[in-house]
Structure 1
Amino acid sequence: MKLKDLSDLLQLSQTTVSRALNGYPEVSEATRKRVMAAAEAHGYRPNMRARSLATGRAMAIGHVIPLASKHEMVNPVFADFIAGAGEVYSAKGYDMLISIVPDEEQARAYREFRTRGSVDGIIVHAPKVGDRRIHLLNEIEMPFVVHGRASDANEPYSWVDMNNTRAFRRATDFLLDLGHRRIALINGLENMDFAIRRRAGFQEALDARGLAPDPDLMFADEMTESYGHDTARALLARPDAPTAFLVSSIIPSIGVRRAIEELGLHMGRDISVITHDDELSYLKNGADVPVFTATRSSVREAGRRAARMLLEIIEDPDSGARQDLLEAELILGQSTGPARA
């Protein structure tokens, strides 16, 4: 079915039908619903090339992934974020363009997106301290939203983030309430903003109890299963081994659990573990009863929110910077218990 066929069926002009399908405000809500219902019933799909020409937009959103972070493409956290964002793009008629580039060519990739008009906006992933991409995107006037925040960025920008500091302070408080005093932090790379904030929450909880953070119990690296395993195995071999682990992702947490079991210990009874990011589509934290006690925040929902925010900015570019701070739940699982003497 073509636009003309749909307009003839509804006895409306092609202009009215097109504007109704594209959400123009001058079309009444009753007419818009009537047009949308008829389009759905008769399987009408708009010609996206024609729509792009009519609106002056590419009808696409860009995601630039540097080669140093290309592992993100198979990371279940990234996959869930993209799945959530993709739901919103699809509903609004937008495509997704993922570009993998050498690290030193990120600026060129963003500038080419702008000059070619191949995308209408950008989602920025994995922000770092003072992230230069924020200044660049503001400079070239490309609409963008950051998934996370960039510490020390001194200019306005829009972001969707989880309250990492509060989540990790709450998790640390929970372990302290259980009597744990030697708690190891297995964190992500600490040039990343989320990891900086998580360490801050961990240290705030210790400071509030009059406990000095032990640098020998705080680790930062890429969050792989082997990193969790090797770090935990080495720590548990020490005479002053920690009684609990606070881990920045369920992926290294699985490695921590493997190390505990290899030593004949029981997670939750001998050693406690709290993880983050356990609500992932393809890496479930148990079934009815969670395996890990966890700080839970839906990455897929963050993807939806970031996508909605970006499309709103594209529609109204003068609306100013926006922020959306998500809170994490503390979910009790089988991996925590009172500290043993």
Structure 2
Amino acid sequence: MNLKELSENLGLSQTTVSRALNGYPEVSARTRKRVEEAAKTYNYSPSTRAKGLATGKALAIGHVIPVSSRHEMMNPVFGDFITGAGEVYAKAGYEMILSVVADKDETKVYESLKARRAVDGVIVHGPRIHEPRIALLDKLDLPFAVHGRAVGGTRPYPWLDVNNHAAFAQATSYLIGLGHVRIGLVNGLEDMDFAHRRRTGFCSALTTAGLTPDETLMRSGEMTEVFGYHSTRELLDQPDPPTAIVVSSMISALGVRRAIEDRGLVMGEDISVVTHDDCLSYLQNGNETPIFTATRSSVRDAGRRLATMLLDTIMNPDHTAKQELLEAKLVIGASTGPAPRKD
């Protein structure tokens, strides 16, 4: 049954029925109850488009993903985030519009979404240290929330981020406490805000312990298994290789482990590894005993939280922008142990 048929059955206008189903206060409680009971009886559910016409909203959230060799967004981390956000959208009656575009077309896509009123807001993924999209969305007056944070924008903006600096400082300090003094870093792309903060946390912990950060022990790149593998091979080839490595991704950590095992070394004995674990649905860090010692923070939960934040921003545009900093938890696994003694 469609809206027209339901309206005719009730002897009411389509506008009245639509307003009753969307909770407009000018519709009497008696009429609203009658309409809701009829909708339930006839198994009628208004389409998103119909709801949008009634409320003046698109009832859709946009996710614009640039296709670039410098963005590894289409991976399990992104998938888990989208799943968490999607759960919130569905419960609130919103749809998701996912646009995968060439980098050069990204600005035009945001402008088009705004001009066509295709979405009520957008999530910004993978912010750089100085993120141009923040100023752009401010200028367009298009509600947004950032997964991460960055310098930029003309006003406070909604964001949700992991305390990357603190997480990597804690991971590095833990290794130092085990006696490691030669510690490597296999990081993400350091023009990305999260990777920059992880590097500063790593270096800060070394400096605090009286150790000098060594650039020759640091690698930065796309967080892939292959990158982790080749970076670790390079580190182990050095005359004075590291006895421990801090890694920015579970995916990269798999490559780190492969390189260690290729050398006939034992992870957790000959060389220790601490990674970041996003609690991925299809890439679990072991069962009861974690494979890797890790700084842990659920990216699916982050998706839920940020989606809720954006919907609140859309509904209450005059409220102060919400910002949330999540603390990662250090979990101890089998990949770390005391620094090996030198003969």
Deviation of the 1:102 alpha carbon: 1.7
Whether the 8 Å contact between 1:187 and 1:195 is mirrored in structure 2 is yes
Deviation of the 1:278 alpha carbon: 4.2
Deviation of the 1:291 alpha carbon: 0.4
Q: For 1:119 and 1:134, locate their aligned partners in 2 and report how far apart those are by CA, in whole Å.
A: 17
Residue of structure 2 equivalent to 1:116:
116
Root-mean-square deviation (CA), in Å? 3.0
The gaps in structure 1 that reach 5 residues or longer are none
Q: For 2:271 and 2:32, locate their aligned partners in 1 and report how far apart those are by CA, in whole Å.
A: 59
Summarize the alignment of residues 1-341 of structure 1 with structure 2, pairs less than 5 Å apart. 22=22, 43-68=43-68, 72=72, 74-151=74-151, 153=153, 155-341=155-341
Secondary structure in 2 matching 1:246: strand
Deviation of the 1:236 alpha carbon: 1.1
Deviation of the 1:218 alpha carbon: 1.3
Deviation of the 1:95 alpha carbon: 1.0
Deviation of the 1:330 alpha carbon: 0.6
What TM-score do the two structures reach when normalised by structure 1?
0.90
Whether the 8 Å contact between 1:278 and 1:284 is mirrored in structure 2 is no
Deviation of the 1:72 alpha carbon: 3.8
1:113 corresponds to which letter in structure 2?
L
1:318 corresponds to which letter in structure 2?
D
Secondary structure in 1 matching 2:291: coil
Deviation of the 1:28 alpha carbon: 12
1:204 corresponds to which letter in structure 2?
S
Q: 1:333 to 1:142 in 2, by over 3 A?
A: same
Deviation of the 1:107 alpha carbon: 1.1
Q: For 1:16 and 1:210, locate their aligned partners in 2 and report how far apart those are by CA, in whole Å.
A: 72
Deviation of the 1:318 alpha carbon: 1.3
Whether the 8 Å contact between 1:247 and 1:275 is mirrored in structure 2 is yes
Deviation of the 1:194 alpha carbon: 0.1
Whether the 8 Å contact between 1:278 and 1:294 is mirrored in structure 2 is no
Deviation of the 1:42 alpha carbon: 7.2
Q: For 1:37 and 1:336, locate their aligned partners in 2 and report how far apart those are by CA, in whole Å.
A: 61
TM-superposition CA deviations, 1:130-172 (whole Å, max 9, x none): 2111001001100000100013555321101111011111111
Q: For 2:217 and 2:27, locate their aligned partners in 1 and report how far apart those are by CA, in whole Å.
A: 61
1:146 corresponds to which letter in structure 2?
V
Deviation of the 1:200 alpha carbon: 1.0
TM-superposition CA deviations, 1:190-247 (whole Å, max 9, x none): 0000001101111111111111111111111111111110111121122201000000
Deviation of the 1:46 alpha carbon: 2.2
Whether the 8 Å contact between 1:137 and 1:144 is mirrored in structure 2 is yes
Q: 1:300 to 1:198 in 2, by over 3 A?
A: same
Q: For 1:323 and 1:218, locate their aligned partners in 2 and report how far apart those are by CA, in whole Å.
A: 31
The percent identity for this pair of structures is: 60
Q: 1:191 to 1:239 in 2, by over 3 A?
A: same
- 249-258 vs 40-49, greater mean Cα deviation: 40-49
Whether the 8 Å contact between 2:19 and 2:54 is mirrored in structure 1 is no
Secondary structure in 2 matching 1:74: coil
Whether the 8 Å contact between 2:77 and 2:278 is mirrored in structure 1 is no
1:215 corresponds to which letter in structure 2?
E
- 93-102 vs 63-72, greater mean Cα deviation: 63-72
What TM-score do the two structures reach when normalised by structure 2?
0.89
Q: For 1:38 and 1:327, locate their aligned partners in 2 and report how far apart those are by CA, in whole Å.
A: 48
Deviation of the 1:331 alpha carbon: 0.9
Query: Number of paired residues?
Result: 340
Q: For 1:141 and 1:152, locate their aligned partners in 2 and report how far apart those are by CA, in whole Å.
A: 15
1:247 corresponds to which letter in structure 2?
V
Deviation of the 1:277 alpha carbon: 2.5
Whether the 8 Å contact between 2:223 and 2:252 is mirrored in structure 1 is yes
Deviation of the 1:288 alpha carbon: 1.5
Deviation of the 1:322 alpha carbon: 1.4
The gaps in structure 2 that reach 5 residues or longer are none
1:328 corresponds to which letter in structure 2?
A
Q: 1:278 to 1:132 in 2, by over 3 A?
A: closer
Whether the 8 Å contact between 2:148 and 2:159 is mirrored in structure 1 is yes
TM-superposition CA deviations, 1:62-81 (whole Å, max 9, x none): 11111216964531000011
Deviation of the 1:26 alpha carbon: 8.7
Q: For 2:297 and 2:32, locate their aligned partners in 1 and report how far apart those are by CA, in whole Å.
A: 35
